[in-house]
Amino acid sequence: MKISKRAQSVPASATIAVTSRAQELKAQGVDVVGFGAGAPDFDTPKYIKDAAIEALKAGKTKYTSAAGIVELRTAIADKLREENGLEYSPEQIIVNIGGKHSIYEAMQAVLDLGDEVILPTPYWVTYPETIKLADAEVKIVQTEKSTDYKMTPTQLRNAITKNTAMLVLNSPNNPGGFTYTPDELKALAEVLEGTDVCVISDEMYEKLVFGKTEFVSFASLSEDAYNRTLTMNGFSKAFSMTGWRLGYTAGPLDVIKAMGRLQSHMTSNCVTFCQYAAIAALGEPAHEAIEKMRQEFERRGKYMAQRLNGIEGVECSEPTGAFYCFPDVSSHYGRNINGAKITGSMDFAQAFLEQANVAVVPGLPFGCDNNVRLSFACSLEQITKGLDRLEEWLSQ
């Protein structure tokens, strides 16, 4: 059957090859250590599951308004006011089917053919594809190790053209594991003043910040930033609810209404009983539930970075957020390890998996071929085992 040009233009995820091979090896009984996970390894907290069960029992099983039930949008508005210093009315909030859907729909609502979207590296693999699906052009800003892979105000200024319609910011960052400081974000916000650039601020990892790292919502930086920003967040990472498919977008009323119109024809509402569980998720027990997971991630991230830096030819900043280390392993490129020629991150990940049975994600699809991504959403025991193998594999 004919496949549309649109669908043909979307490649299968470049990270899938490694993941599927890891699964294949596991199925054969090989003891594979998986550093590929993009989901917390904790169960969803019980109080949230209980709320979903209660909602089901109470018959919350029918359609809701496409944008989500007003009680949930009100709870999100309260959260954004109290935790992020952001004043949004429930009408300025739409509940989407996961953060991925928020991003897709926001881009569909804002972008046109010929628009340019600034995307600093390293970027989450989905952004370039959603930009292209909205007929817009990806304008990559290559960041440097020396700035901890953060885009500088000068780089942003130089990337803006008369066609720039959007900037995608993601802090804490997947795959980089870094977080922009409030001052760094302020400096970027100032560059945007006087332009028509809309910002998607992907705050999915907001709750997972470590040490003295301070999280700040981009829209809270100034009135100008507020007016140009779509604040995107969700329940997947903070509450360990990746399978529940709950994300949300808050922003200017006209954009949120446009997203609502699209959503009313594309998907309608998020799963109804999940919306009730989301209200519960934002309630009183949230702090303790999140803090337990956050502390564990912090402990693992510190350990992983320390171990990585102890390995010859591997350089890694300590993560300040999310659950990823993104070491530069490029000093091993050009080597031949047990017959495998390592020319870049794809070869590195493939050979490491085949020879040492550890799955890492190559940096190339994130825009940084010098790096690989290791998720620490797995036990400390697995982390130790995987890093022992890395040390041994690279020392050959």
What residue ranges bind ligand PMP (CB under 6 A)? 38, 98-100, 124, 170, 174, 202, 204, 234, 236, 242, 247
* Min separation Cβ 232 and ligand PMP, Å: 7
Closest residue by Cα to residue 196 from 163, 168, 226: 163
* Min separation Cβ 68 and ligand PMP, Å: 14
**Three-class SS of residue 202?**
strand
Q: Are 312 and 389 in contact (CB under 8 A)?
A: no
Closer residue to ligand PMP in complex, CB, 38/327:
38
Give Cα 262 to chain centroid, integer Å: 23
* Min separation Cβ 78 and ligand PMP, Å: 20
| 265: phi then psi, degrees, rounded to nearest 5 | -100, -25
Cβ-in-10-Å burial (0-12, 13-18, 19+) of 4 comes to: exposed
The closest residue (CB) to ligand PMP is 98
Closer residue to ligand PMP in complex, CB, 38/319:
38
Closer residue to ligand PMP in complex, CB, 94/311:
94
How far apart, in whole angstroms, are the C-alpha atoms of residue 160 and residue 86? 27
Closest residue by Cα to residue 56 from 275, 285, 289: 275
* Min separation Cβ 61 and ligand PMP, Å: 22
Place of tokens 């446009």: 258
Residue type, 27: A
How far apart, in whole angstroms, are the C-alpha atoms of residue 231 and residue 247? 11
Closer residue to ligand PMP in complex, CB, 15/92:
15
Closer residue to ligand PMP in complex, CB, 38/90:
38
* Min separation Cβ 308 and ligand PMP, Å: 20
* Min separation Cβ 242 and ligand PMP, Å: 5
Q: Are 51 and 279 in contact (CB under 8 A)?
A: yes
Closer residue to ligand PMP in complex, CB, 64/173:
173
Assigned token pair, 36 = 């590929």
* Min separation Cβ 245 and ligand PMP, Å: 7
Closer residue to ligand PMP in complex, CB, 301/357:
301
